[in-house]
Amino acid sequence: MSRYISWLLTGLSLCVLAGAHAQAPEPVGTGPEPARSYSDPGLPTHTLYRPATLSGRYPVVLWGNGSCVNSNFSYREFLTQVASRGFIVVAVGPHRTSPAPRQERPSDPAAWPAFETQTQQLLDGLDWLSAEAARAGSEWQGHVDTARVAVMGHSCGGMQALAASSDPRITTTLVLNSGIFPEGDQYNARFGLTRAHLQALHAPIAYFIGGESDIAYVNAEQDWQDLQRGTVPALNANLDVGHGATYAMPQGGPFAAGPLAWLQWRLKDDTNARALLLGQPCGLCAAGQWRVRSHLLP
């Protein structure tokens, strides 16, 4: 199996894994604000993960799925955990209570059809939520902090997050188990990306990678080299869990700690979360499993 098939079919393998838990109750997360997930009639193409009771102003997280599939079911444990920490997550794909059916793709990547989802859908979710927050009488009015917006995705969704990061409303980007392919690769073209995109970033960016066994590791390392030649603050963190990471595990498993710390620091100014990533030694590094590097971060 080629590296491209292994990488971009990750969403399919996660769906299969999640199928074993298809009848499990909907997660609510373990954060201070139990979360819920659903599709709003005004945005049926997406799933909203949010605190069940809206009691403050919440930063926004836009989510893209592995393999660019039109289902976030495989990530519901992770995304609910994020929402329970006081975030509004707008995830591409309608709300589901079981894995989405998938059709096997041809063995030749050149014969694959277009991805099920596109980068613009990340920003469509932000457009809808921003409009709702401004609409008189909306339940979202007064509860959405559109000045603090993260774009985040896994694998193929990480490429979508990178492509969407040029939108001026984005205040940070999280690339999970992903990275830009070598210059001229056909997959960069599918996202409208070149390696020069990294030098045009306007907001801090963080990579969370599954170690050297992660098929995205090589591309992420090249991105890291490129970012160190630029002026955008950046983080690179590795935990040896492979490309599929631990998203489908309860609360998103051990890999969730890295992205959660970044979101809480960059979108909520949480200094304890910063210490998990940049403390001396970093809190995540204390157990000797995470490896964290930073560039121009305060």
Residue 11 has pLDDT above 80, yes or no: no
Token pair belonging to 1: 């199996």
Domains defined along the chain, listed by start = 3-295 (3.40.50.1820)
pLDDT tens, residue by residue, 51-68:
999 999 999 999 999 999
pLDDT-derived band of residue 287, with 50, 70 and 90 as boundaries?
Answer: confident
Residue 12 has pLDDT above 60, yes or no: no
Phi, psi of 234 (to 5 degrees): -145, 155
**Closest to 48 measured CA to CA, from 74, 24, 76:** 76
Res 1: pLDDT: 35
The residues with which 174 forms a beta bridge, in sequence order, are 152, 206
- Span 66-80, mean pLDDT? 97
CA 114 from centroid of its chain's CA atoms: 21
Residue-by-residue DSSP string for 224-238: HHHHTTSSS-EEEEE
Res 186: pLDDT: 83
Q: Global pTM?
A: 0.92
Provide, rounded to the nearest whole percent, the portion of the chain with pLDDT above 90. 81
- Span 38-45, mean pLDDT? 98
Mark out the alpha helices in 53-96 (DSSP H runs). 76-84
pLDDT tens, residue by residue, 234-286:
999 999 999 999 999 999 999 999 999 999 999 999 999 999 999 999 999 98
Residue 161 has pLDDT above 60, yes or no: yes
The answer to whether 104 and 22 are in contact (CB under 8 A) is: no
**Highest mean pLDDT, choosing among 8-12, 94-98, 256-260:** 256-260
Q: Are strands 35-40 and 58-64 parallel, antiparallel or unpaired?
A: unpaired
